[in-house]
């Protein structure tokens, strides 16, 4: 099976092509998760949420280009169908279009991924254009942008006031017009996500947005129930934390009672 391409994703804009079926995207940070998610997904996102999920950092702000490159390479190695998109970490692209090109080209060279994602709207539009005109597909990310936590003061939903709503729609339109092949809309009141989806000509990918977006993304560990605390927009499709606890509890108990290892797990000498 040939890997999904950026133009193929672009063509999935609702209305543009026959199917109109929403795009399926999940985060992946490791090779085994990539292998398991790949057959089900159109896109895999190596999100900078790995800062919290994998490294226990307080936000995505401390995440480095090295971390994104290492995990990005693992996800590309573990997948052959989905388009792999890698987050540009905080501080690696905002300084100038040239800085962004250097960081993004490094990510693509070192991982084999086909596209990067960057947070920001109007302020990043020139950078989106600079990269796309030079061969680097960019996915935008507007609304709740976690790298701006120090400006926003938290992770609450965005766009509750009319001024903020207008700003977010303007941000999405700006990155789309600058050439973004798709835009993530995160943590906004629903009508804004609908308005953006109708306004831009590339697929919108919602997270805490709307079922009317052209696709959806979630952090895989969130939807699998690996975390206790999850935001409103996460639906838990499993309780992996509970199942891991139960399995590990059984292992501990079997070790302590010498029930493990049993007959089947030990090597017997040949004679």
Q: Which is nearer to Na ion, 60 or 79 (CB)?
A: 60
Mark out the alpha helices in the chain (DSSP H runs).
6-10, 31-37, 50-53, 65-77, 97-111, 125-132, 149-152, 162-177, 190-199, 220-223, 240-256
Least distance from ligand KIV to the Cβ atom of residue 118, Å: 10
Residue with token string 């400006």: 151
Question: What is the spatial distance between Cα 50 and Cα 83, in angstroms, rounded to a whole number?
Answer: 18
Which does residue 67 bind out of Na ion, ligand KIV, none, counting CB within 5 to 8 angstroms by kind? none
Binding partner of residue 219 among ligand KIV, Na ion, none, CB under 5 to 8 Å per kind? ligand KIV
3-class secondary structure for 65-96? HHHHHHHHHHHHHCCCCCEEEEECCCCCCCCC
Q: How many residues does the chain have?
A: 271
Judged by CB under 5 A, the residue of 38, 42, 48, 195 near Na ion is 48
Position of tokens 């690996």? Answer: 226
- Residues of this chain that bind ligand KIV (CB under 6 A): 27, 45, 47-49, 87, 184, 186, 207, 217, 219
Q: Which residue among 66, 98, 133, 186 is the active-site one? A: 186
Q: Binding site for 3-methyl-2-oxobutanoate: what residues are annotated?
A: 48-49, 87, 117
Annotated binding site: which residue ranges?
48-49, 87, 117, 119
Q: Which is nearer to Na ion, 116 or 196 (CB)?
A: 116
Closer residue to Na ion (CB): 47 or 187 = 47
Name the token pair of 45.
């996102």
- Euclidean distance between CA atoms 19 and 22, whole angstroms: 9
Residue 73 interacts with, from ligand KIV, Na ion, none (CB under 5-8 Å by kind): none
Residue with tokens 């507007």: 142
133 is an active site residue: no
Shortest spacing between CB 262 and ligand KIV, in angstroms: 41
Which residue, among 211, 231, 208, 213, has the nearest Cα to 221 in the 3D structure?
231
Please choose, out of 13-21, 48-56, 91-99, 161-169, the segment that lies near Na ion by the rule CB under 5 A: 48-56
Window of 43-51, 102-110, 178-186, 196-204 that interacts with Na ion by CB under 5 A: 43-51
> Smallest gap, in angstroms, from Cβ of residue 164 to ligand KIV?
19
Binding of residue 89 to Na ion (CB under 5 A): no
Q: Which two tokens stand for residue 265?
A: 């797990």
Count of residues touching Na ion (by CB under 5 A):
3
- Residue 225: helix, strand or coil by DSSP? coil
* The entry of ligand KIV, Na ion, none that residue 14 binds, CB within 5 to 8 Å by partner kind: none
Backbone angles phi, psi at 205, to 5 degrees: -115, 115
> Where in the sequence numbering do the catalytic residues fall?
186
Binding site for Na ion (CB under 5 A): 47-48, 87
């Amino acid at each position: 099976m040939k890997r999904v391409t950026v133009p193929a994703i672009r063509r999935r804009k609702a209305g543009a092509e026959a199917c109109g079926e929403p795009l399926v995207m999940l985060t992946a940070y490791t090779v085994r998760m990539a292998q398991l998610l790949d057959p089900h997904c159109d896109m895999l996102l190596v999100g900078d949420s790995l800062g919290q999920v994998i490294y226990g950092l307080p936000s995505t702000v401390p995440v480095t280009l090295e971390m994104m490159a290492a995990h990005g390479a693992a996800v590309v190695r573990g997948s052959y169908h989905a388009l792999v998109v890698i987050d540009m970490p905080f501080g690696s692209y905002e300084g100038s279009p040239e800085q962004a090109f250097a960081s993004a080209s490094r990510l693509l060279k070192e991982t084999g991924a086909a596209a990067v994602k960057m947070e920001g709207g109007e302020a990043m539009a020139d950078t989106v254009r600079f990269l796309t005109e030079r061969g680097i597909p960019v996915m935008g990310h507007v609304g709740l942008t976690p790298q701006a936590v120090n400006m926003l003061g938290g992770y609450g939903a965005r766009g509750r006031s009319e001024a903020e709503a207008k700003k977010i729609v303007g941000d999405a339109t700006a990155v789309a017009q600058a050439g973004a092949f798709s835009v993530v809309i995160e943590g906004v009141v629903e009508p804004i996500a609908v308005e953006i989806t109708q306004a831009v000509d590339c697929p919108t990918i919602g997270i805490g947005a709307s079922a009317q977006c052209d696709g959806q993304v979630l952090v895989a560990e969130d939807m699998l129930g690996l975390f206790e605390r999850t935001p409103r927009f996460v639906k838990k499709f499993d309780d992996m934390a509970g199942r891991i606890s139960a399995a590990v509890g059984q292992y501990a108990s079997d070790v302590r009672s010498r029930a493990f290892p049993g007959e089947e797990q030990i090597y017997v000498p040949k004679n």
